[in-house]
Structure 1
C-alpha cells in the first residue's frame, strides 16, 4: 500500500498556484449597443492560461443577449458564474451563483453576469456568438454579434 505524507494545513493553503488566493483580472464585455445594434464590445478577447479572470458581461441594450462558445467552455475551468444587480446606492449585490460546466450565459437588458474562470488550454476560438433570434428571424450573430477569443 502506498502512503502519502499528510501536509500541514498551513502549508497546503499557501501552495504556489492556489487559485483561491489569486486576485482576478477583470475584463468587461458589453452585450449589444444602446442604439439597438447587436455586437460584443470588445469583440476580440485575449486571456492567458493559469490566471484567474472575472469576465463581466454587461447588457447595455434593450434586448436579451447570449454569450455562447463551446470552444471557450472546453478550454477553461469555470470557478463560478454570478448574477449581479446594481443597487440604487451604487453597490453591486450578488443574486445567484452557479458552478460547473458553463458554455452559454444569457444576460437580460440592463443586467450583468460575472464569469469567474481560469484558462487551461491555449488556442484561437472563433465560435463566440449570440444565438438570440431577432424579429426578422435572423440571429444576433447573423447581425454581426460574433467574436474571437485568444488563449495564450
Structure 2
C-alpha cells in the first residue's frame, strides 16, 4: 500500500509539472493582441461600425472603441461580458498624434461609455462560443428614444 501511495504522489507531481508547463505555454500576456476597431456612431448617426463583430475563443483582442460623434455612446452587452475574460480596459487620448493611456480598469466589464471624440481599449479573451444579440447603446437622445431604438444595435459572434 505504501508503494502505491508513493506512486500516486509521484504521478501527481509529474502531472502538476506537465500542466504547469502547458499553462506557461498559453501565457496570454505574451500574445500579440488582434486589434479590432469599432466606431461608436458618427456625426448624426446612431450605429456601430461594423455592426457585426467576430471573435475566436482563446485569442487576445484589443477592442478599440472609438467615438467620433458629437455625443456619448455606450458599448453594452451583458451576454458578451459573460463570454469573455477581461485583461484590462484603458481610457486613451490622442496627444501629438500618439495614444496616451489616462486610466486602466481590471475585472468584469458589462458596459463602457465613451465620450465624444475619445477612445477606450478593451483587452479581452473570448472564453465561450456563441452568438450575442444584445449589443446596444442605451443613452437617451433628445427625443426620448434610446440610441438603440434609433438603430445603434449589433451582433457578436464568438467561434
Q: Which residue of 1 aligns with 2:28?
A: 19
Q: Which residue of 2 aligns with 1:102?
A: 109
Give me the TM-score of the superposition, normalised by structure 1.
Answer: 0.91
Which protein has the bigger helix share? 2
In structure 2, the residue corresponding to 1:94 is in which secondary structure?
Answer: strand
- C-alpha distance in 1, partners of 2:52/2:68? 18
Structure ID, larger Rg: 2
CA shift digits 1:1-41 (9 cap, x unpaired): x775786xxx869922110000000000000112x110001
In structure 1, the residue corresponding to 2:103 is in which secondary structure?
Answer: strand
**Ranges in structure 2 where 5+ consecutive residues have no aligned partner:** 1-8
Give me the TM-score of the superposition, normalised by structure 2.
Answer: 0.87
| Matching of residue 128 in structure 1 with residue 135 in structure 2 | yes
- C-alpha distance in 2, partners of 1:85/1:73? 24
**How many residue pairs get matched?**
147
Q: Which runs of 4+ in 1 moved over 3 A?
A: 2-7, 11-14
**Ranges in structure 1 where 5+ consecutive residues have no aligned partner:** none
